[in-house]
Amino acid sequence: MSAYIIRRMLYAIPILIGINLITFILFFVVNSPDDMALMQLGSKHTTELQIEDWKRERGYHLPLLYNTEQSGLGAVTETIFYQKSAKLFVFDFGSSDSGRDIGYDISQRMWPSLALAIPTLLVGLLVTITLALTIAFFRGTYIDYWAVIICVALISISSLFYIIGGQFLIGKLLKIVPISGFDTGLHALKFMILPVLIGIVGGIGSNTRWYRTIFLEEINKDYVRTARSKGLSEQVVLFKHVLRNALIPILTGVVVVLPLLFMGSLLTENFFGIPGLGSYTIDAINRQDFAIVRAMVFLGSVLYIIGLVLTDISYTLVDPRIRLS
Amino acid sequence: MTVRKISLALCCTGLFTFLVACSDQELNNPYRDNDSARSIIYSSFSERPKELDPVKSYNAGEYEFIAQIYEPPLQYHFLKRPYELVPLAAAKMPEKQFFDAQGAHLAEDVDPKQVAYTEYTVTIQSDISYQPHPAFSKDEAGEFRYHQLTATDLERINKLADFEMVASRILTAEDYVYQIKRLAHPNLHSPLAGLLSNYIQGFKDFRIDVLTQLDPQKSWLDLRQIAMTGVEVLDQQRYRIRVKGVYPQFIYWLSMPFFAPIPWEADRFYAQQGMAERNISFDWYPVGTGPYMLTENNPNLRMVLSKNPNFHGELYPTEGEPSDLDNGLLADAGKPLPFVDRIEFSLEKESIPYWNKFLQGYYDTSGISSDSFDQSVELNSRGEFGLSDEMIERDIKLSSAVATSLYYLGFNMLDPVIGGDTERARLLRRAISIAVDYDEFISIFRNGRGEPAQGPIPPGIFGFEEGQAGINPYVYDWQKDALKRKSIEQAKQLLSAAGYANGIDQKSGKPLILYFDTVSRGADSKALLNWMVKQFAKLDIQLVIRTTDGNRFMDKLDKGTFQIYQLGWNADYPDPENFFFLLYGPNSMALSKGQNYSNYQNPEYDQLFDKMKAMENSPQRLRIIQEMNAIVRADAPWVWSFYPKQYSLNHTWYKNVKPNLMANNTFKYRRVDAAKRAQMRKEWNDAVLWPVYVLFVVLLLSIVPAVISYRKRELARGL
């Protein structure tokens, strides 16, 4: 397995370089270093000299991808792309264009993102799997029929509606929890109830329907029929046999998103004022802070690759027939 | 089994109800402590302040914090209108003296052309001290405790509060001079550096001197050791600034945080290696003498200003406008400031949650966004805006003020069709000025929150004239004591006279097509752009909308590749020069990359501008302003769009609120009736729990048929 993991990590390097290059090109197609300088310095009373100074200080005076004034390796290394991207591969995120330490910011802001994402994921899984198993148990009945209709209806509703509706109903009308905000430590609990609840409700429709399909596929297999013929109760059949065998596709969906939980939820974080990494990224895009955008895209890509590797590893854990080679 | 589960669920519900009943705090209270007895202002910020260093900070969101911390020499009087400068840290208003090129003193009423430079002597108060800060702390030997920190010392340091010892010292004139030198420092990128280099003597040379003395091996350069010819410390309390020629507007800059004092000790302290990596800098921890100091800086969550224990004291103003007495704004006259112990700013990115929390009493004041306008404000029978019944019921107060800002639709005067000094182009621009109905725009798109602009100067600025005297005669008539926009027929006549009858160019026989460049704001701006197209269509002119992103838009303005654009300007200071310079020829974008984006040139206007700029407010200056207004109204390089009107809502417990669009340091005047707030919050935020119980019961009941069905199945299989 170690050889497999090392090989996958090596494969990741060209992928990350490619992602960096694409991010770089997309960013600089829309923003020039002059625009970035103006954004940081402000457009009122700013002179050309100040813009030049700002660019020089941060290395944005160099050519983007190829330096014609340099020869040999310097033609590639003396460019914005190389200077800004090389350090990322040793996870040195450097400073943002406004001068803040990106690594420090990430270390501070990943906790609120996790505080929101982990309970949403775990409780959401528990709820949706239970619901899906219940629906599978009542397959072909009116419960199954209405459950599918409700799931489709829930899928059709925009996540923004859940957020605004949830804030209106629970925060404004019922006044049970704060409408928005965040705090540290245990004080964060009361702020997390509503966004987590909204996250769970928002995911019920799609996840329940998906898991139901998986369970139904399993429930008709021979080993289930055998289990039943042995006289096992339906509860044991579902929870011990069906659930265990249905775990592979569920794991595929869950494990791959685990590392991405760090990256936060953009919409929820914005509406609830949760200072996570999702809002950090969007703020950076609005401020044209390339250093942060680049760091966050890189981090997201690395985490996604880790997620894929973890998924592969998890296959071997839940299904001994699978071997990584 | 099932009975056990139901019992457990009921126990949980009982426990929840018990906990709720025991809690004396509202369940939806977003604040940590029970603050019913505390004098705290609750406000918000929507994004992390970009800069808190007064050398760089230059926007309202940042000034909301640093203007409470730093004290420049002057400030705007809180109550008086028109806006009036008064001393803040200064003991008195700066003394101004004119000198000729030989250094001879000139009389005050001398011709500005004879003046080579002006000297401002600022005298500061002698009893002002800085807030407690580790940079001032000294050891027993009298050496600064934290000025020679090593990497080992910094190992246990992550934030400013990790430094155990703090101290203070008296404010001196040198601190103001030090900050002016920082403004010129090339590595600090002050947005004002370019402008000041044109005015303060020796500013440019100082930049060069700093560049030559900068040593990459040393983390700090002592700016006290480098002289700037235009700035001089006279003694402990006095310093002098020498400004080239006559620049009366300079005094307004002295009220901005750019000119606040910076102690060299703090600069030395923050410049040490390892500090910036820990975000220990001026940008994170301001050091001031003002009524408040930043005691919590977590821009991802909350920023807190607390009373500065070393604040020198200031009294609430005893004078104001006549209406201030009736409005209760002089009830605290002569009382010591500040009234409030703490100001808490919470991160609130979206307007809807903010608005709802304001209605619940968790914020003391709120602006009125378009989302909440209908809920908060109603048009009464007299056509005036008043509070809605819901707001009146909550005893919320409305305050409004016309901003010292202007929006305009600009023409590129270098464009061969719409620009230029020909009568044909002038008539075309005037016709468009009539056709683009900004009265309608204000009504549709701004819910009436604005006044149609008549020229470059907004209300509240010297030179603005009310009533008939102030109208733009090319667009409006004065009828029955009110503005009346000229008819579209008159616009068509002008268009015809310009040679574009029915929107057809009489010379070429081709339809007149104009291009409007604007920043794309997604689907939201579609209605607005459609409206704009319809305005031009009234004259049978085809308007092509060219939407782009902000950067490309600025690029087009820079290169002059546009015909029509829309922009706005917010006053830096309450002087007409700050608006007229936007049309000053030498300030054109094409010539000097200035802010005259229309590239308007009129020698007569420029001459008058030079004259007006150097004058103090006087009847003579007003006459020149009137002449300048007449010129630009006739030339119509802009369609004067509107002056925005700002509305704000305040809870009844939030006292001493008077919009002051120039001053940023107004938190010290605010007073909060904390007991009243606590009472209202309790009244408004009684949790409604019965729907939760109902939902719970419904869920339980819905499980019952499922359980029965399950049991039936199990039993059926058993048989």
Between residues B471 and A37, the one the model is more confident about: B471
d(CA A74, CA B96): 57
Phi/psi of residue A303, each to 5°?
-65, -35
Please compute the mean of the pLDDT values over residues A86-100 and round it to a whole number. 78
Among A1-10, A142-151, A206-215, B568-577, name the one with the lowest average pLDDT. A1-10
Give the per-residue pLDDT at B24. Answer: 62
Q: What is the rounded average pLDDT for all residues in chain A?
A: 85
Give the per-residue pLDDT at B3. Answer: 46
d(CA A122, CA A129): 11
Its ipTM equals: 0.78
Please compute the mean of the pLDDT values over residues B7-30 and round it to a whole number. 62
Query: What chain B residue is nearest to A191 in terms of C-alpha separation?
Result: B30
The tokens 């802001």 sit on which residue? A109
Query: What is the percentage of chain B residues whose pLDDT exceeds 90?
Result: 66
d(CA A37, CA A54): 6
Cβ B717 vs Cβ B397: under 8 Å:
no
B693 interfacial to chain A (CB closer than 8 Å): no
d(CA A47, CA A38): 10
Q: What is the pLDDT of residues B602-657, one digit of tens each?
A: 999 999 999 999 888 899 999 999 999 999 999 999 999 999 988 899 999 999 99
d(CA A157, CA A143): 21
Query: What chain B residue is nearest to A144 in terms of C-alpha separation?
Result: B706
Please compute the mean of the pLDDT values over residues B79-100 and round it to a whole number. 94
User: Of A44, A141, A177, which has the smallest distance from its Cβ to B191's Cβ?
Assistant: A44
Query: What chain A residue is nearest to B356 in terms of C-alpha separation?
Result: A172
**pLDDT band at A325, cuts 50/70/90?**
low
Please compute the mean of the pLDDT values over residues B194-201 and round it to a whole number. 91
Q: What is the pLDDT of residues A131-147, one digit of tens each?
A: 998 888 888 888 889 99
B715 interfacial to chain A (CB closer than 8 Å): no
d(CA A65, CA A80): 7
Phi/psi of residue B106, each to 5°?
-115, 155
How is B250-310 classified by DSSP, letter by letter?
HHHHTTSGGGS---HHHHHHHTSTTTGGGT-STTTS----SSEEEEEEETTTEEEEEE-TT
d(CA B710, CA A137): 9
| A43 neighbourhood in chain B, CB within 8 Å | 554
The DSSP 8-state label assigned to residue A87 in this structure reads: G
Q: Which residues pair with B117 in a beta bridge?
A: B99, B244
Between residues B656 and B27, the one the model is more confident about: B656
Q: Of B333, B321, B388, B379, which is closest to residue B83 (Cα–Cα)?
A: B321
Asked if A234 and B714 come within 8 Å (Cβ–Cβ), the reply is yes
Residues 6+ apart with CB under 8 A from B526: none
Task: Compute the count of residue pairs across chains A and B with CB atoms less than 8 Å apart.
Answer: 147
User: Of B47, B301, B353, which has the smallest distance from its Cβ to A179's Cβ?
Assistant: B353
Does B449 have pLDDT greater than 60? yes
Among A120-134, A144-158, B363-377, name the one with the lowest average pLDDT. B363-377
Min Cα–Cα distance to chain B from A249, Å: 27
Asked if A179 and B689 come within 8 Å (Cβ–Cβ), the reply is no
User: Of B50, B348, B685, which has the smallest distance from its Cβ to A273's Cβ?
Assistant: B348
| A138 neighbourhood in chain B, CB within 8 Å | 706, 709
Q: Of B417, B414, B439, which is closest to residue B427 (Cα–Cα)?
A: B417
d(CA B613, CA B580): 9
d(CA B582, CA B595): 6
Q: Of B131, B235, B91, B125, which is closest to residue B177 (Cα–Cα)?
A: B235
Cβ B80 vs Cβ B382: under 8 Å:
no
Largest CA distance in chain B: 119
Q: Which of A46, A58, A127, A135 to probe by mutation at the B interface, max B CB count within 10 Å?
A: A46
Phi/psi of residue B302, each to 5°?
-155, 145
Percent helix, strand, coil in chain A, to 5, is 75, 0, 25
Cβ A298 vs Cβ A16: under 8 Å:
yes
Does A294 have pLDDT greater than 90? no
Cβ B75 vs Cβ B85: under 8 Å:
yes
Please compute the mean of the pLDDT values over residues B346-374 and round it to a whole number. 88
Asked if B688 and A182 come within 8 Å (Cβ–Cβ), the reply is no
| Exposure string for B656-666, b = 16+ CB within 10 A, e = fewer | bbbebbbbbbb
Name the residue type at position B86.
V
Query: What chain A residue is nearest to B345 in terms of C-alpha separation?
Result: A181
Name the residue type at position A189.
L
User: Of A104, A172, A273, which has the smallest distance from its Cβ to B346's Cβ?
Assistant: A273
d(CA B563, CA B410): 8
Does A312 have pLDDT greater than 90? no
Query: What chain A residue is nearest to B49 in terms of C-alpha separation?
Result: A98
- Distances from the Cα of A220 to the Cα of A175, A239, B234, angstroms: 47, 15, 94
Q: Of A106, A93, A88, which is closest to residue A263 (Cα–Cα)?
A: A106
Residue B677, CB half-sphere, CA atoms under 13 Å: how many? 26
The structure tokens listed for A163 are 């957020």
The tokens 């200035």 sit on which residue? B594
Cβ B488 vs Cβ B437: under 8 Å:
no
Min Cα–Cα distance to chain B from A50, Å: 6
Cβ A177 vs Cβ A171: under 8 Å:
yes
Q: Which residues pair with B41 in a beta bridge?
A: B343
Total length of chain A: 325
Give the per-residue pLDDT at A287. Answer: 77
Please compute the mean of the pLDDT values over residues A69-93 and round it to a whole number. 82
| A171 neighbourhood in chain B, CB within 8 Å | 28, 353, 356
Min Cα–Cα distance to chain B from A262, Å: 16
Name the region of B368 (left: φ>0; alpha: ψ -120 to 50; beta: rest): beta
Q: What is the pLDDT of residues A224-238, one digit of tens each?
A: 889 888 888 877 888
Decide: pTM greater than 0.80: yes
User: Of B193, B572, B595, which has the smallest distance from its Cβ to A50's Cβ?
Assistant: B193
Min Cα–Cα distance to chain A from B690, Å: 9
The tokens 């829930």 sit on which residue? A154
**pLDDT band at A13, cuts 50/70/90?**
confident
| A50 neighbourhood in chain B, CB within 8 Å | 189, 191, 193-194
Cβ B207 vs Cβ B188: under 8 Å:
no
d(CA B377, CA B379): 7
Give the per-residue pLDDT at B210. Answer: 93
Does A125 have pLDDT greater than 80? yes
Phi/psi of residue B345, each to 5°?
-105, 120
Q: Of A130, A116, A79, A95, which is closest to residue A238 (Cα–Cα)?
A: A130
**How many Å separate Cα B521 from the centre of its chain?**
21
Please compute the mean of the pLDDT values over residues B344-358 and round it to a whole number. 90
Asked if B32 and A41 come within 8 Å (Cβ–Cβ), the reply is no
Cβ B331 vs Cβ B315: under 8 Å:
no
Angle at A132 between CA A131 and CA A137, to 5 degrees: 95
Phi/psi of residue B466, each to 5°?
-80, 165
B192 interfacial to chain A (CB closer than 8 Å): yes
Give the per-residue pLDDT at A169. Answer: 93
Q: What is the 3-state secondary structure (H, E, C) of B350-392?
A: CHHHHHHHHHCCCCCEEECCCCCHHHHEEECCCCCEEECHHHH
Asked if A45 and B353 come within 8 Å (Cβ–Cβ), the reply is no
d(CA B396, CA B376): 10
User: Of A50, A270, A283, which has the smallest distance from its Cβ to B194's Cβ?
Assistant: A50
Please compute the mean of the pLDDT values over residues B523-545 and round it to a whole number. 90
Query: What chain B residue is nearest to A106 in terms of C-alpha separation?
Result: B300
Query: What chain A residue is nearest to B190 in terms of C-alpha separation?
Result: A41
d(CA B3, CA B12): 14
The structure tokens listed for B403 are 């901003």
**How many Å separate Cα B216 from the centre of its chain?**
37
B349 interfacial to chain A (CB closer than 8 Å): yes
User: Of A38, A104, A175, which has the smallest distance from its Cβ to B685's Cβ?
Assistant: A175
Please compute the mean of the pLDDT values over residues B532-538 and round it to a whole number. 95
The DSSP 8-state label assigned to residue B668 in this structure reads: G
Name the region of B420 (left: φ>0; alpha: ψ -120 to 50; beta: rest): left
Q: What is the pLDDT of residues B307-320, one digit of tens each?
A: 999 999 999 999 99
Instruction: Determine if the peptide bond prior to B338 is cis (ω within 30°).
Output: yes
Q: What is the pLDDT of residues B33-86, one digit of tens each?
A: 666 678 999 999 988 888 899 999 888 889 999 999 999 999 999 999 889 999
Q: Which of A29, A176, A268 to probe by mutation at the B interface, max B CB count within 10 Å?
A: A176
Give the per-residue pLDDT at B719. Answer: 43
User: Of A40, A167, A279, which has the smallest distance from its Cβ to B356's Cβ?
Assistant: A167
**pLDDT band at A127, cuts 50/70/90?**
very high
Min Cα–Cα distance to chain A from B23, Å: 12
**How many Å separate Cα B570 from the centre of its chain?**
8
E strand or H helix at B121, and its extent? strand B117-123
Q: Helix, strand, or coil here: B145?
A: coil
The tokens 């700029």 sit on which residue? B613
How many CB atoms sit inside 10 A of residue A153's CB? Answer: 10
E strand or H helix at B543, and its extent? strand B542-548
User: Of A143, A180, A233, which has the smallest distance from its Cβ to B353's Cβ?
Assistant: A180
Among A59-68, A314-323, B292-301, name the one with the lowest average pLDDT. A314-323
Total length of chain B: 719
Asked if B27 and A175 come within 8 Å (Cβ–Cβ), the reply is yes
